[in-house]
């Protein structure tokens, strides 16, 4: 569950889906989450757990920028949750831009055992291009200070979320995260676009995203045994060999996200705000029984259905079983809704093919090493051909 | 069972079953697949874990035992 505890942000990333894609819903939201919404969230989880005693929960403090609520209010919220949900397994995490992290926040994160992740788009010269302040200045120095504090503390800090940039080098991003910052985890997000807001150079950008991800994958794969994790690539590898995915962009398996807006309203996915004319209001708010009610709501059923319905182009693609059409929001077009290939189709196909070929060649080399001979007539080179039937 | 389909330039298409024994000889792939099974298991059993604009790898959770699944069961 994504808990939007603050509806504003202290920086102004150029590509932000919350504030810079035309949606103005944030203007009608309270800035900091009101206390009655906090109580409603606890009630919602408690009532769901009574009906489902073996269930556990993940609650992400999100926004806007969640740390804008201030550390005192954060402590009040956490004390309340720990008291009200003392016998419920809830994993608390925070997704932050890192700028406001100071000693007080570090103490709070440590005391409440909260997992913290930071948004960072690569080395400083890359991050500073788009993740800027309202004055247009680079936010990177403050972010790196926050990251350094996390690394020096006992806070569980897995790493960073990074938006792929079409005109940057993926290998450099991985080297920066893994070798210079010595992070154990990073993840890549494809930029949020629909068919309604594609830049005029979209084809060139797709080539750029492809180059970025291919070089990033190679750099990451060579470091896998050092413990560096990347959810985006791990999901692709898993799907390539017929396994599950854990992320939206690679057609995740599993239950849908619940967004808890700052005013307590529940929504299926916050990035749906970039889809013009799509009404994402569920009519359900936090409180007893809200999870069950939300999953039964017409809007959730429609959103879940969107994830399962695909156009013929997707269904006939050899890589559909891997990407499952990508993130459904990236398939949106006025008139045809979500029944389109992803705007990132070209990129997804190319990175899947690259990963598939790499895995296939690796496995053949392994078989050759272990058996003492190649399993196929040389010099034929195997090419990945998608996931077959079980 | 995890598997891949592959093809050659001569059009021949085959399927390769990725057995635990084969994976044991390929540390990188073994690491990645085991890690993803762990994460997928956690995500499937935890409400709200699939949102990709949020932290992933959770060392604390892993310390607590997490949810381990047999290698091949997750691919059924």
* Cβ distance of B60 and A184 shorter than 8 Å: no
Would you call A117 an interface residue with chain B, using a CB distance cutoff of 8 Å? yes
* Whole-complex ipTM: 0.74
CA dihedral (A247, A251, A254, A256) positive or negative: positive
Residues A305-329, mean pLDDT to the nearest whole number = 87
Q: Residue B76 has what pLDDT?
A: 39
- For chain A, the 3-state helix, strand and coil shares in percent, each to the nearest 5, are 45, 10, 40
Considering chain A, what is the average pLDDT of its residues?
Answer: 90
B10 in Cβ contact with A380 (< 8 Å): yes
* Cβ distance of B3 and A388 shorter than 8 Å: yes
pLDDT tens digit string along A220-262?
999 988 889 898 998 898 888 888 887 888 877 655 789 999 9
Q: Residue A367 has what pLDDT?
A: 80
* Cβ distance of B39 and A234 shorter than 8 Å: yes
* Cβ distance of B48 and A184 shorter than 8 Å: no
Contact list in A for residue B7 (CB cut-off 8 A) is 382-383, 385
Q: Residue B60 has what pLDDT?
A: 39
**Is residue A377 predicted with pLDDT exceeding 80?**
no
Residues A15-31, mean pLDDT to the nearest whole number = 90
- Residues counted in chain B: 76
Q: Residue A254 has what pLDDT?
A: 53
Would you call B13 an interface residue with chain A, using a CB distance cutoff of 8 Å? yes
Cα A276-A282-A284 angle, rounded to 5 deg: 150
Q: Residue A279 has what pLDDT?
A: 84
**Is residue B67 predicted with pLDDT exceeding 70?**
no
Q: Tokens 């750099």 correspond to what residue?
A: A219
Q: Tokens 């999870």 correspond to what residue?
A: A291
Collapsing DSSP to helix, strand or coil, B3 comes out as: strand
A113 vs A47, A102, A105, A353, CA distance in Å?
24, 16, 12, 40
Q: Name residues 10-69 of chain A within 8 A of B (Cβ).
A: 48, 55-60, 62
Contact list in A for residue B58 (CB cut-off 8 A) is 91, 93, 115, 156, 158
Collapsing DSSP to helix, strand or coil, A264 comes out as: coil
pLDDT band at A143 (very low <50, low <70, confident <90, very high): very high
Considering chain B, what is the average pLDDT of its residues?
Answer: 65
Burial of A289 (0-12, 13-18, 19+ CB in 10 A): middle
Higher pLDDT pick, A268 / A379: A268
Residues B9-21, mean pLDDT to the nearest whole number = 82
* Cβ distance of A366 and B22 shorter than 8 Å: yes
Q: Name residues 16-45 of chain B within 8 A of A (Cβ).
A: 16, 18, 22, 25-29, 31-33, 35-37, 39-40, 43-45
A41 in Cβ contact with A260 (< 8 Å): yes
* Cβ distance of A60 and B58 shorter than 8 Å: no
Residues A316-338, mean pLDDT to the nearest whole number = 90
Q: Residue B24 has what pLDDT?
A: 87
Collapsing DSSP to helix, strand or coil, A383 comes out as: strand
Cα A345-A220-A269 angle, rounded to 5 deg: 45
How close B57 gets to chain A, by Cα (Å)? 6
Collapsing DSSP to helix, strand or coil, A337 comes out as: strand
A7 in Cβ contact with A63 (< 8 Å): yes
CA dihedral (A16, A160, A79, B67) positive or negative: positive
Percentage of chain A with pLDDT > 70? Answer: 94
Contacts of B39 (CB under 8 A, 6+ apart): A231, A234, A246, B56, B57
CA dihedral (A242, A244, A250, A253) positive or negative: positive
Cα A348-A159-A351 angle, rounded to 5 deg: 15
Provide the pairing of β-strand A383-384 with B3-7: antiparallel
A290 in Cβ contact with A261 (< 8 Å): no
Q: Residue B19 has what pLDDT?
A: 85
A38 in Cβ contact with A80 (< 8 Å): yes
**Which one of B48, B66, B73, B75 makes the best mutation probe of the A interface by having the most chain A beta carbons within 10 Å?**
B48
A57 in Cβ contact with B48 (< 8 Å): yes
A198 in Cβ contact with A343 (< 8 Å): yes
H helical segments located in A241-311 = 290-296, 298-308
**Is residue B45 predicted with pLDDT exceeding 60?**
no
pLDDT tens digit string along A72-95?
999 999 999 999 999 999 999 999
Find the range with the poorest average confidence among A197-206, A208-217, A315-324: A315-324
B60 in Cβ contact with A113 (< 8 Å): yes
Using only the alpha carbons of chain A, give its radius of gyration: 22
A250 in Cβ contact with A327 (< 8 Å): no
């Amino acid at each position: 569950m994504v808990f939007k505890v603050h509806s504003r942000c202290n920086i102004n990333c150029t590509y932000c889906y919350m504030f810079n894609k035309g949606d103005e819903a944030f203007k009608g939201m309270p800035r900091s989450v009101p206390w009655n919404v906090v109580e409603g969230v606890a009630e919602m989880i408690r009532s769901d757990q009574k009906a489902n005693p073996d269930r556990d929960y993940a609650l992400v403090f999100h926004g806007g920028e969640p740390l804008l609520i201030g550390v005192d209010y954060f402590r009040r919220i956490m004390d309340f949750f720990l008291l009200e949900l003392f016998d419920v397994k809830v994993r608390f995490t925070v997704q932050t831009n890192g700028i406001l992290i100071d000693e007080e926040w570090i103490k709070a994160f440590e005391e409440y055992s909260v997992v913290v992740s930071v948004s960072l788009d690569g080395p400083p010269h890359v991050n500073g291009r788009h993740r800027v302040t309202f004055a247009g200045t680079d936010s990177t120095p403050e972010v790196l200070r926050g990251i350094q504090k996390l690394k020096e503390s006992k806070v569980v800090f897995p790493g960073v979320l990074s938006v792929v940039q079409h005109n940057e080098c993926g290998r450099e991003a991985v080297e920066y995260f893994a070798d210079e910052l010595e992070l154990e985890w990073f993840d890549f997000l494809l930029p949020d676009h629909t068919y309604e807001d594609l830049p005029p150079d979209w084809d060139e950008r797709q080539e750029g995203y492809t180059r970025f991800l291919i070089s990033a994958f190679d750099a990451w794969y060579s470091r896998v045994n050092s413990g560096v994790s990347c959810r985006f690539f791990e999901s692709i590898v898993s799907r390539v060999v017929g396994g599950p995915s854990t992320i939206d962009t690679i057609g995740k398996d599993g239950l849908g996200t619940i967004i808890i807006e700052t005013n307590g309203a529940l929504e299926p996915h916050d990035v749906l705000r970039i889809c013009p004319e799509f009404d994402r209001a569920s009519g359900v708010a936090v409180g007893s029984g809200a999870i069950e009610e939300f999953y039964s709501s017409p809007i959730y059923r429609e959103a879940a259905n969107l994830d399962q319905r695909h156009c013929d182009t997707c269904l006939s693609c050899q890589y559909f079983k891997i990407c499952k059409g990508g993130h459904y929001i990236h398939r949106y077009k006025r008139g045809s809704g979500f029944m389109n290939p992803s705007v990132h189709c070209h990129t997804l196909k190319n990175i899947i093919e690259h990963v598939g070929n790499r895995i296939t060649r690796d496995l053949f080399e392994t078989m050759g090493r272990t058996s003492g001979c190649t399993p196929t007539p040389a010099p034929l080179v195997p090419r990945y051909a998608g996931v077959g039937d079980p | 069972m995890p598997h891949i389909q592959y093809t050659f330039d001569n059009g021949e298409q085959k399927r390769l079953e990725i057995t635990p024994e084969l994976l044991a000889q390929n540390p990188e792939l073994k690491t990645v697949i085991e890690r993803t099974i762990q994460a997928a298991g956690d995500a499937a059993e935890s409400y709200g874990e699939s949102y990709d604009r949020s932290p992933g790898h959770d060392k604390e959770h892993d310390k607590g035992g997490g949810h381990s699944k047999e290698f091949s069961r997750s691919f059924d």
